[in-house]
Amino acid sequence: MAGKSDLDGLRAAIRGAALRATPSRIATLRTLRAAAVPLSHGEVSQQMADLAFDHATVYRNLIDFVEAGLATRNDVGDHTWRFAASGGKHASDAHPHFVCTSCGGIECLPGLEVVMSRAKAPRSVRQQKIEVHVRGLCDACT
């Protein structure tokens, strides 16, 4: 069970993003912040199964968090959105991810630095997001 200061911090973050601090939103943000890697909607719902929140509610919370800047959403090439808390254990600063081509496991590679040249984007591009995915077999699958 979380302490009062943890609960107060979650509520403040949610309210600071102009969202209502409902029990399902608090639990969803707590789950994202506790995760060491980005989680799919199914993984978030599974980790919150004992709380009996509707899967659609959890998904709406995740989307609300992305739109409010409390979470990020990315796809590592398997057509599954994964969510991570902004500024949580899964650092919001850009870093590559390792994706196992056999089991589908994902691992953060924060020690690798990605250096990009300063290429000028076309004026029509309003927002850029650079994602790097390293693919291969994880230790368990080799």
Confidence of residue 126 (pLDDT cuts 50, 70, 90): low
Please tell me the distance from the alpha carbon of residue 49 to that of residue 20, in angstroms, as a whole number.
22
pLDDT over 80 (residue 1): no
* Mean pLDDT taken over the chain: 83
Beta bridge partners of 82: 40, 74
Please tell me the distance from the alpha carbon of residue 9 to that of residue 15, in angstroms, as a whole number.
10
Question: Which pLDDT score, from 0 to 100, does residue 13 have?
Answer: 94
Digit-coded pLDDT (tens) for 6-49: 899 999 999 999 999 999 999 999 999 998 888 999 999 999 99
Question: Which pLDDT score, from 0 to 100, does residue 78 have?
Answer: 76
Query: What contacts 109, CB < 8 A, 6 or more positions away?
Result: 95, 96, 97, 98, 134
Query: What contacts 59, CB < 8 A, 6 or more positions away?
Result: 41
Question: Which pLDDT score, from 0 to 100, does residue 92 have?
Answer: 44
Domains of the chain from N-terminus onward: 4-136 (1.10.10.10)
Q: Hey, what amino acid is at 52?
A: A
Digit-coded pLDDT (tens) for 64-123: 999 999 998 887 777 889 898 986 555 545 667 788 888 878 787 777 766 655 566 666
Question: Which pLDDT score, from 0 to 100, does residue 36 have?
Answer: 82
User: E strand or H helix at 135, and its extent?
Assistant: strand 133-136
Residue with tokens 């927002």: 127
